[in-house]
């Protein structure tokens, strides 16, 4: 009995193997099927072998439909849904350069018990494929089919959350089609219909169709009126590159009126859409010697091909391309003058072209970054799909070159700082030839510094600080132009001298010292990583999700943005991430910053700014009226500040007035108040990271408001420091932050000090000869304030006030952050500066030339004599 059972199981296995071989080039995924259930299994109707999807995706949860009134087959009873993350992707192997039929199937079946119809986007690689909208469809199920030729041997199919509902998928079916079939000039083909002409036929799939295309009987009202069905019991040859099923070709429709054309109304793909037609013909009637069947095929009156004469019991496939300019789209088969018989048609496939303009990331770069991911066991939910595009889904820690959508992006920056990496430096790094910046700092990497890093021609910055690397620095890394940071690696030799073996008597103390240092550094690193993760959990992705999911009252559509700007009529500025336009919302003037789709950093900054400004409110921070997040259209809508930015008023450009010393002091104080709120009043505290005169805006009363929070970051508090990639504007960046990657509130204090020096001197921050702080340092030795103050002030200021402000600016720009004041100290000092200036104004009879200063100060603040 046992032997018989074993033999039976062996036979079943052999049958499954034979069937699987017949399905070569097929991938059939039962999404959400637990791996511990029977997998693979044979689906009863099609006899296709379905397998669990668990090895093809790293995220999502398993679900099962609760309602099945339509009697869905087993592959569609389970599903995978994605409550976590914005983009979740399947990774599948395909044959590059061969057309594949890709079918995604969705059966809601009230699996979650909420009976809320979901809406989400479906992406093919970096491009939008379709929007799945059960609310609009009003059905319980839908599917999307596309014929697509992959440009690499891997395929990414992604589900993207676009609102409050959760994306899900029931099944993924991929079929490699015949060579050279369904070829387009450009783009892929989205199926509108695939039908055969039979009054009473059922749907036809595998095994009758070797490619598992689904054929639906075209048995509508036309058969009752204008058409007559003809059929044959004979075998019809179907051997061509399309191979439609023989069961499709044994039926055909012909006009009941022999003199009338055969008219087919096409499903609309939209006016102006490009259609691809694949019409299959076979003569299945016995013709008399004198009979001829010849006809033309036309779309809305435009002939698409040469006259067609179907071959006896043999297939003829005509493929054509056409465009319907109106909403009505009519395909007609019309007999020619020499034809004695009416036209016929056996089967018809209709597609519209869908173009995918965004090129995928270079496949070699993708392979390299995935090898790095596997090497270090990085399990990041956001690291799915294409690493570089679209920009809103750029993998965290990467930057890419992708200014031209037609060119494959390349990875140019990799930041895995504080990522818990162990082992040696991954060899796959050298397979990123366009890499310019590599940051592996603050990890637990061991082994030597590899020489290949010095052979990477594009690599100009390497940060290996605070690891456990050993050995010596390769000679190849000591080349000109390469910035290499290796501090915090106690076992790493920085010169030839350290390669010499120390005397035996000092070996133990040195090793002991190094071991102690390593322990201290390890503890410090663990603490910093823990704190950074904690800060990220508070101020990172969860807040961004909350921003876009729960702030609908402040969210505008792109059409509303077009309307409020009067079709982007008035440009009022241009930044690194896009143009700024003036507009109106509910009668109030606003400024709208429209994110450029070619911006390299814009999307992450857009998320950060929306997140911050929707939860912080201060009179000296620019107010966010709302935002637009609709597909590729991203916009920030701010209150409009008519007096522009401080930089314009210092330079006098754009017809701006040169503000006097009183207003400069007030602007300095109000900016300091805004920064203090970010550093102390926010939870968690924030560092602006881009404090500069161009980001200080002035309203109609010259009240200052700090703007542009796209690169702001949360941090742990007053005494904390966070490891992060350096960002900001050259000249304003804290040199200590630049050198160590350690971000703290004192980084903003330095930038603020540079702003204060600009306000005092009206000198450029950076020139060919000096930085403004260096220039002031040389002038201070002369102890003459008039040599330092902006000559455009014409000496109209209190010298005590000027000296105090100058000393404050110098202390803020100290190269050591520990010697800089905090913002509350800056505010107190500025109040004293203002008190000095107010005293001068009062002594002059309260007269000012053009502007007034109206800040009320504590009566306890007394000007200090110099």
* Concatenated DSSP letters of 220-284: STHHHHTEEEEE-SS--B--SSS---HHHHTEEEEESSTTS-EEEEPPP--TTPEEEEEEEE-B-
What structural domains does the chain harbor? 21-177 (2.60.120.430), 190-354 (2.60.120.260), 363-538 (3.80.10.10), 644-866 (1.10.510.10)
593 is in an annotated binding site: yes
Residues 131-164: pLDDT tens digits? 999 989 989 999 999 999 998 999 999 999 999 8
Mean pLDDT for the chain overall: 84
Distance (Å, whole) CA 181 – CA 210: 14
- The pLDDT of residue 1 is 46
HSE-up (13 A, CA, CB side) for residue 608: 18
Q: Give the pLDDT of residue 856.
A: 40
Whole-model pTM over 0.75: no
Q: What was the pLDDT predicted at 717? A: 57
Q: Lowest mean pLDDT: which of 188-192, 326-330, 503-507, 513-517?
A: 503-507
Close Cβ partners of 836 (under 8 Å, ≥ 6 residues apart): 798, 800, 801, 804, 863, 864
Confidence of residue 23 (pLDDT cuts 50, 70, 90): confident
d(CA 466, CA 420): 12
Quickly state the pLDDT bin for 603 (edges 50, 70, 90): low
* Tokens standing for residue 413: 């920056």
CB 347 within 8 A of CB 215: yes
What is the rounded CA–CA span in Å between residue 452 and residue 468? Answer: 19
**Rounded to an integer, what distance in angstroms lies between the CA atom of residue 18 and that of residue 4?**
21
Pairing verdict, β 347-354 and 588-595? unpaired
> Which residue's structure tokens are 């109040």?
831
690 is catalytic: yes
pLDDT for the residue 598: 58
Tell me the C-alpha distance between 756 and 568, whole Å: 35
Q: Check residues 588 and 573 and name the one with the higher pLDDT.
A: 588
Query: Among 690, 708, 748, 790, which one carries the catalytic annotation?
Result: 690
Q: For a pLDDT cut of 90, what percent of the chain falls above it?
A: 57
- C-alpha Rg value of the chain to the nearest Å: 35
* pLDDT at 543 exceeding the cut of 60: no
3-state secondary structure 37-61: CCCCEECCCCCCEEEECHHHCCCCE
> Which pLDDT score, from 0 to 100, does residue 562 have?
92
Which of 290, 228, 306 lies closest to 260, judged by CA? 228
Q: Residue 71: which region, alpha, beta or left (left: phi > 0; alpha: psi -120 to 50)? A: left
Q: What is the pLDDT of residues 711-769, one digit of tens each?
A: 888 876 555 566 677 888 888 999 888 888 888 889 999 999 999 999 999 999 988 77
Among the residue ranges 336-350, 407-421, 527-541, the one predicted with the least confidence is: 527-541
Assess whether pLDDT exceeds 80 at residue 220.
no
Query: Given a cut of 90, is residue 404 above it in pLDDT?
Result: no
Report the pLDDT value the prediction gives residue 268, as an integer from 0 to 100: 65
Q: Which of 2-16, 653-667, 851-865 has the lowest mean pLDDT?
A: 851-865
647 token code pair: 């930089």
Question: What pLDDT is stored for residue 309 in this prediction?
Answer: 97
Mean pLDDT throughout 437-451? 94
């Amino acid at each position: 009995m046992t032997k018989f059972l074993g033999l039976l199981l062996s036979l079943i296995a052999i049958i499954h193997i034979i069937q699987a071989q017949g399905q070569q080039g097929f991938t059939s995924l039962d999404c959400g099927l637990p791996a511990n259930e029977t997998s693979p299994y044979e689906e009863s109707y099609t006899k296709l072998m379905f397998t669990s999807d668990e090895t093809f995706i790293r995220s999502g949860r398993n679900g099962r439909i609760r309602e099945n009134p339509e009697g869905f087959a087993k592959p569609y009873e389970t599903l995978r849904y994605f409550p976590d993350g914005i983009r979740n992707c399947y990774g599948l192997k395909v044959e590059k350069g061969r057309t594949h039929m890709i079918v995604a199937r969705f059966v809601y079946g009230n699996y979650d018990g909420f009976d809320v119809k979901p809406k989400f986007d479906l992406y093919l690689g970096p491009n939008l494929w379709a929007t799945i909208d059960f609310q609009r469809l009003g059905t319980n199920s839908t599917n999307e089919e596309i014929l697509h030729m992959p440009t690499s041997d891997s395929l990414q199919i992604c589900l993207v959350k676009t609102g409050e509902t959760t994306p899900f998928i029931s099944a993924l079916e991929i079929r490699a089609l015949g060579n050279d079939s369904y070829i387009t000039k450009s783009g892929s083909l989205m199926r509108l219909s695939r039908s055969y002409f039979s009054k009473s036929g059922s749907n036809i799939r595998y095994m009758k169709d070797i490619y598992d295309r689904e054929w639906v009987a075209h048995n509508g009202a036309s058969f009752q009126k204008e058409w007559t069905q003809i059929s044959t019991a004979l075998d019809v040859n179907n051997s061509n590159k399309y191979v439609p099923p023989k069961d499709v070709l044994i039926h055909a429709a012909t006009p009941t009126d022999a003199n009338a054309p055969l008219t087919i109304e096409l499903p609309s793909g939209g006016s102006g859409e490009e259609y691809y037609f694949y019409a299959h013909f076979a003569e299945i009637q016995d013709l008399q010697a004198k009979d001829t069947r010849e006809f033309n095929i036309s779309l809305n009156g435009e002939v698409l091909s040469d006259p067609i004469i179907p071959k006896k019991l043999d297939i003829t496939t005509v493929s054509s391309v056409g465009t319907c300019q109106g909403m009505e789209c009519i395909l007609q088969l019309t007999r020619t003058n020499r034809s004695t018989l009416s036209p016929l048609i056996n089967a018809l496939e209709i597609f519209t072209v869908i173009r995918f303009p965004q090129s995928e990331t270079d496949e070699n770069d993708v392979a390299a970054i995935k090898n790095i991911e596997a090497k270090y066991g990085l399990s990041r939910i956001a690291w799915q799909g294409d690493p570089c595009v679209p920009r809103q889904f750029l993998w965290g820690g990467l930057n890419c070159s992708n200014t031209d959508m037609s060119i494959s992006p390349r990875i140019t920056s990799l930041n895995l700082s504080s990522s818990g990496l162990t082992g040696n430096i991954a060899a796959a790094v050298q397979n990123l030839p366009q890499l310019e910046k590599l940051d592996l700092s603050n990890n637990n990497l061991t082994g030597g510094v590899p020489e290949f890093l010095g052979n990477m021609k594009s690599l100009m910055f390497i940060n290996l600080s605070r690891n456990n690397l050993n050995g010596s620095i390769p000679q190849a890394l000591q080349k000109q132009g390469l910035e290499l940071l290796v501090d915090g690696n106690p076992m790493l030799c920085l010169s030839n001298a350290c390669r010499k073996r120390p005397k035996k008597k000092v070996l133990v103390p040195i090793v002991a010292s190094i071991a102690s240092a390593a322990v201290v550094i390890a503890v410090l690193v663990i603490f910093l990583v823990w704190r950074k993760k904690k800060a990220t959990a508070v101020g990172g992705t969860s807040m961004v999700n909350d921003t876009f999911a729960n702030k609908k009252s402040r969210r505008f559509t792109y059409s509303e943005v077009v309307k409020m700007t009067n079709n982007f009529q008035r440009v009022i500025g241009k930044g690194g991430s896009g143009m700024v336009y003036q507009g109106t919302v509910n009668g109030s003037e606003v400024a709208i910053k429209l994110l450029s789709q070619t911006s390299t950093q814009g999307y992450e900054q857009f998320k950060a700014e929306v997140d911050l400004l929707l939860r912080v409110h201060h009179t000296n921070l620019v107010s966010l009226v709302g935002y637009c997040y609709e597909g590729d259209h991203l916009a920030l809508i701010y209150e409009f500040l008519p007096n522009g930015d401080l930089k314009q008023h210092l330079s006098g450009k754009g017809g701006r007035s040169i503000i006097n010393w009183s207003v400069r002091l007030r602007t300095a104080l109000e900016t300091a108040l805004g920064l203090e709120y970010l550093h102390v009043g926010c939870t968690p505290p924030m560092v602006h990271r881009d404090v500069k005169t161009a980001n200080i805006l002035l309203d109609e009363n010259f009240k200052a408001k700090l703007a542009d929070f796209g690169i702001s970051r949360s941090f742990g508090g007053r005494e904390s420091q966070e490891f992060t990639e350096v960002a900001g504007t050259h000249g304003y960046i804290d040199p200590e932050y630049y050198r160590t990657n350690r971000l703290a509130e004192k980084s903003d204090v330095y930038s603020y000090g540079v702003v204060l020096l600009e306000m005092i001197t009206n000198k450029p921050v950076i020139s060919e000869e000096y930085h403004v702080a260096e220039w002031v340092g040389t002038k201070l030795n002369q102890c003459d304030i008039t040599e330092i103050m902006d000559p455009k002030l014409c000496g109209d200021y209190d010298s005590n006030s000027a000296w105090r402000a100058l000393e404050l600016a110098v202390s803020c720009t100290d190269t050591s952050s520990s010697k800089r004041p905090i913002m509350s100290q800056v505010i107190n000092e500025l109040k004293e500066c203002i008190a000095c200036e107010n005293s001068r104004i009062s002594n002059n009879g309260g007269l000012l030339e053009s502007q007034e200063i109206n800040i009320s100060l504590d009566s306890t603040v007394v000007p200090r004599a110099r």
